[in-house]
Chain A
Amino acid sequence: MKSAKWENIFKGWNRKESNEILTLKQVPVFKDFQYSDFRELENLMHKREYKAGDYIFKNRAPGEGMYIIVKGNVKITVGTRSKKENVFANLTDGEFFGELALFDDEPRSANAIATENTQLLGFFTQDLMTLQERNPVLGQKILFNLGGLLGERLRKTNALLVKEQTKK
């Protein structure tokens, strides 16, 4: 017969990770995180569901933070559906968007539209600030990782710009 005490001690060993934690593990912003860190993040984040065709946010809307796709598809566009619609990116499970809004008060620079029934996790400036207060080490880790990702993107954009200019 199993002892309740031992079962209690080893109860974390066969823990089942939620879909949300499994998704967060794929996101580079949260690389090198421990299980307890993911639990804390999961508690802070907001689960949202959107139907196919729903706007997650519109271009020029006030932005508060980033979204991570747990399940579904999201297209990032500029322009309107009736007029010229330019699709920048099609994002799927484990990918994220809108992270720039974590750093500035500028309005959104594109539309985000669900192309099928989609589950998202929202992580906002307020959540980041709460996390900074409650667990500064974790907050700093996220900021550092986000900084790295933005730096990488900037480098890529610079390279593209140089390429375009040398073409001319």
Chain B
Amino acid sequence: MSDQKNYIQLIYRIIVGLILVWFLSTIWPYISNVILMLVFAFLFTTILLSSVDNLERKINNRGVSVLLVVILLLGSIGGFLGSFISQISKQAIDFSKRVDKETLTIEFANLVEKFTSSLPNFLKTGQSSNEDFASKLAEFTQTVLGSLASMAGAVGNFMFLATMIFIFTIILLAEYHVFRKSLVSMIPNKYFEIGLKLIFNIEKSVSSYLKGQFLSASSVAAMSIAGLIILNLAGANLTLIIFIGIIAGLSNLIPLIGPFVGMVPAILISFMNNIGNDASTAHMLFGVLPSPFFIFDIILMFLVVQQIEGNLITPTLVGKSVGLHPMLVMISLLIGGTLLGPLGMLFAVPASGIIKVIVKEVAFVRQNAQYL
């Protein structure tokens, strides 16, 4: 009789589970953006919460503390970006003063000639004639215009997301303890202590993950700065090294795309600083591969930094911070990447950390069910 009851209960649970999965998959397209915003807002809140709490204790006003911390954060981001943009535009102005259009054209022509002459014969066979060139150029212009339009849409969408995340972060920071208490008050008395422990462990796991990510970003920044200094010793003539290092460290937090974003400013600056410099144009990587303006040296340096970070620092530092085995971190990253792309990779490790905490607590509850 009891076996039959268990079967009915099991079937009932499976049906409820299936309905839930169907319901979630139906509404997911409508709520995914809001959930994404809330997840980001929660992450930013976790980063800023201790500063707000500390300040609140000193000035005794939560609202003002949130405002001050947010203003300070925006000020530092704005200051960093502003200073970087002003420095790079100053360099761009110097560059335009130094190089006129004609020199630039000649320089490019020389560069293309040098590069094609160094290519093996079989790679040169597919080169287009002058007649195809006009049609290819028109095609290229159309593609660029199309990309620009879609980029404008993406920028608009990004600005909307960023504004909403910013607003959610401010609200969460101001009301975090109230929200947390309301959540805790909803736990039934029977599961109260276990529920509280679960929430605390999830918070701890997320905050440790963020600390790990911060360490990982800092190590990428430090390694990039060191690498750029070494390139300078080899004659790369790079400036704004600290800025480039910080950008590389920060952008490295976004899996797949991030590391390439870090390379761009370095290549741009190397190009601007070295144009017209024959030694730099004729530079060869390891004396074999032509690497004008040290472009391939820079790319190689960033690739080495990424390999060290991806295979050594992240699995050990970040995995350790959420208590996951390096192997599990890699598997989580692969699953996250397959399911949701770069965004999935960004959230894969903290999500695995949270799942691990929940599984552990559920097992603990099952083990101690008779005492609750």
B-side contacts of A147, CB under 8 Å:
none
Interface residues of A in 51-68 (CB under 8 A from B): 54, 56-65
In the bound complex, do residue B200 and residue A126 qualify as a contact, i.e. CB atoms below 8 Å apart? yes
Q: List chain B residues, Cβ under 8 A from A107.
A: 371
Query: Does A43 sit at the interface, judged by CB under 8 A?
Result: yes
In the complex, whether B164 has a CB less than 8 A from a CB of chain A is no
Task: Check B196–A48 contact: CB distance below 8 A.
Answer: no
Q: How far is A124 from B184 in the complex, measured between Cα atoms in Å? A: 13
Contact, CB under 8 Å: A64 / B196:
yes
Q: Which of B57, B184, B189 contacts A54 (CB 8 A)?
A: B189
Interface size on B, residues (CB 8 A): 20
1/0 per position for A40-56, CB-CB distance to B under 8 A?
A: 10010011101000101
Cross-interface CB contact of A60 among B50, B53, B54, B371, cutoff 8 Å: B371
B49 to A, closest residue via Cβ: A134
Minimum CB distance partner of A59 in chain B: B371
Q: Is the CB of B371 within 8 A of A61?
A: yes
Instruction: Return the CB mask of B189-209 against A: 1 if under 8 Å, else 0.
Output: 100111011001000000000
Which residues B347-372 have CB closer than 8 A to chain A?
Answer: 364, 368, 371-372
Q: Is the CB of A46 within 8 A of B181?
A: yes
Known interface pairs A61-B368, A61-B372, A62-B364; A126-B197 also in contact (CB < 8 Å)? yes
B54 — which chain A residues lie within 8 A by C-beta?
Answer: 134
Residues of B within 8 A of A135 (CB): 57
Q: Which residues of B contact A72 (CB under 8 A)?
A: none
Known: A46-B181, A60-B371, A61-B371. A134 touches B200 (CB 8 A): no
B197 touches A48 (CB 8 A): no
Residue among B60, B196, B368 making CB contact with A126, cutoff 8 Å? B196
Nearest opposing residue in chain B for A61, CB measure:
B371
Is B86 on the interface with A (CB-CB < 8 A)?
no
Contacts of B372 in A (CB 8 A): 58, 61
The answer to whether A124 touches B193 (Cβ under 8 A) is yes
Known: A63-B193, A64-B196, A126-B196. A47 touches B371 (CB 8 A): no
Cβ-closest chain B residue relative to A107: B371
Q: Are A62 and B193 in contact (CB under 8 A)?
A: yes
Which A85-102 residues sit within 8 Å CB-CB of chain B?
A: none
**Alpha-carbon distance A79/B53, docked complex (angstroms):** 44
Interface mask (A123-153 → B, CB under 8 Å = 1, otherwise 0)? 0101001100111000000000000000000
> Is B114 engaged at the interface, CB distance under 8 Å to the other chain?
no
Nearest Cβ distance between residue B178 and chain A, in whole angstroms?
9
Q: Is the interface of A mostly helix, strand, loop or mixed?
A: mixed
CB neighbours of A48 from chain B (8 A): 189, 192
Q: Which of B185, B197, B371 contacts A46 (CB 8 A)?
A: B185
Most buried by B among A50, A57, A60, A135: A57
Which chain B residues numbered 170 to 193 have a C-beta less than 8 Å away from chain A?
177, 181, 184-185, 189, 192-193
A71–chain B nearest beta-carbon distance, Å: 16
Q: Please name the residue on chain A nearest to B368 by beta carbon.
A: A62
User: Which residues of chain A come closer than 8 Å to B53, judged between CB atoms?
Assistant: 134
For the complex, what is the distance from the CA of A108 to the CA of B185, rounded to whole Å? 22
Q: A134-B54, A134-B57 are in contact. Are A64 and B189 (CB under 8 A)?
A: no
With a cutoff of 8 Å between Cβ atoms, the chain B residues found around residue A133 in the complex are 50
Q: In the complex, what residues of B have CB within 8 A of residue A50's CB?
A: 189
Q: Which residues of A contact B197 (CB under 8 A)?
A: 64, 124, 126
Chain B residues, CB < 8 A from A63: 193
Q: Are A46 and B184 in contact (CB under 8 A)?
A: yes
Bound Cα distance A87, B177 (Å): 37
**Nearest CB of B to A45, in Å:** 9
Complexed CA–CA distance, A108 and B54 (Å): 34
Q: Decide: B196 and A124 in contact? CB cutoff 8 A.
A: yes
Instruction: Give Cα A60–Cα B177 distance, bound, in whole angstroms.
Output: 31
Determine the chain B residues whose CB is within 8 A of the CB of A58 once the complex forms. 371-372
Counting chain B CB atoms within 10 Å of each CB, which of A40, A47, A126 scores highest?
A126
Using a CB–CB distance below 8 Å, which chain B residues touch chain A?
50, 53-54, 57, 60, 177, 181, 184-185, 189, 192-194, 196-197, 200, 364, 368, 371-372
16 CB < 8 A contacts A-B: A36-B57, A43-B177, A46-B196, A47-B185, A54-B189, A56-B189, A58-B371, A61-B368, A62-B193, A62-B194, A64-B193, A107-B371, A124-B196, A130-B200, A134-B57, A135-B57
Lowest 9 A-B CB distances belong to which pairs?
A126-B200, A61-B371, A64-B193, A60-B371, A58-B371, A134-B53, A62-B368, A46-B184, A64-B197
* Extra 8 A-B pairs, beta carbons < 8 Å, given A47-B185, A62-B364, A126-B196: A36-B57, A56-B189, A57-B193, A59-B371, A61-B193, A65-B193, A108-B371, A130-B200
